[in-house]
Structure formats: C-alpha cells, structure tokens
Amino acid sequence: MRAAGKAWLSVIVLAAGIALLPGLLYLLGLALVEGRPKPADRAPSGVAACSSEPRAAYQPMNPWRFAAQFFDKEVMQKKVPEVEREAFWIARRHLWRQPRHGMLRWHLSSTALTIWITRHWSPAQIADTARKEDFCRTWSKRRVQGGPMNR
C-alpha cells in the first residue's frame, strides 16, 4: 500500500474512532452501573413532577447529542428540560445507593444512566419517580438558594 493510501486509511480510522467515542463511553458507563433503577408506579395525577413544562414533544437524550452540546454555546445557555433534570436526579439517587468508586467512574455512570433513563422511560414515569423520590422538594430549595443546578 502506498503512503497516501495509508495516510487516508489512518484518517478514516481516526474519524470513525472519534465518531464512535460517545457511544462507546455510554456503553462503558452503563456497564459500570450495578443494576438499573425501576420507575415508580403511576401516580394518580398526570401532573409534571416539578413544573407544568410540556413533556409530550420531549426528545430522549443520546450520547452524541450530549457530547455535541459542549461544542455549541447556544445549547449550553439554554435551560435544561425538566425531564432531563429529573432523570439526572433519579440516576444520582440510584448511584448513591451503590458502593463508592472514583470520581471519573461516578460522572461517566451518572451521565450514561441519565441518558438510559430518558431513552427507556416515558416522561410520565420520570415525573412519577421524581415525585416519589422527593425531587421536587429538593429542587425547590436549591432554586431558592441559588444552587448549582440553577442554569
């Protein structure tokens, strides 16, 4: 094979590796989680857990969209949808109940589990579980106090 052919092959392999990286990190993060959380039983009311934000048009997260948001300033400045915020807290509560590991593993697992929850649970299941886990009360306090999730 000629040098130019090897160079192009290297570029293609590198580009494919970069394109696959978010998906591979997602799978690794899920593999590091012991078990998966279960959604709560359906609550009697269909009201959103912490807000009246519409949930019908919500698009589940995916690893590539999550990674792309770090390169788009407009996306970083937008308000995080309530469904994602609730899924994040459900994932964290699940991980709090597991043995402690390093910070890198914690963040990778938390992110992967948040993505998994938004992909496999309905927005209503996320809202019901957030309500059951007292997420709304925690979030209300944090909002009033100007906590870290107040973007």
Q: In this predicted model, what pLDDT tens digit does every residue of 76-92 receive, in sequence order?
A: 777 788 888 899 999 99
The pLDDT of residue 53 is 64
What is the domain extent for residue 139? 3-145
Q: Is the pLDDT of residue 141 over 70?
A: no
Other Cβ atoms within 10 Å of 109 Cβ, number: 23
Q: Per the domain annotation, does 15 fall within a domain?
A: yes
pLDDT the model gives residue 120: 94
Q: CA 47 to CA 89: how far, in whole Å?
A: 18
99 lies in some domain: yes
Distances (CA, A) of 87 to 12, 51, 103, 108, 124: 36, 14, 20, 15, 11
**8's tokens:** 């192009």
Note whether residue 88 is domain-resident: yes
Please indicate, yes or no, if residue 103 is contained in any of the structural domains.
yes
State what percent of residues in the chain have pLDDT above 90: 42
- DSSP annotation string for 26-72: HHHHHHTSSS---PPPPPSS---SS-----TTPPPP-HHHHHHGGG-
Whole-number Cα distances in Å, 131 to 27, 28, 42, 72, 87: 28, 29, 10, 32, 11
Distance CA 25, CA 5 (A): 30
In this structure, is residue 108 part of a structural domain?
yes
Query: Is position 21 within any domain?
Result: yes
State both tokens at 102. Answer: 């390093």
Question: How does residue 149 score in pLDDT terms, banded at 50, 70 and 90?
Answer: very low
Number of domains within the chain = 1
116 contact partners, CB below 8 Å, separation of at least 6: 30, 36, 91
What's the CA gap between 11 and 86, in Å, rounded? 40
In the structure, what pLDDT confidence band is assigned to residue 46 with cuts at 50, 70 and 90? very low
Q: Is residue 134 part of a domain?
A: yes
Position 150 in a domain? no
pLDDT digits (tens, 9 = 90+) for 93-140: 999 988 888 999 999 999 999 999 999 998 888 888 888 877 776 555
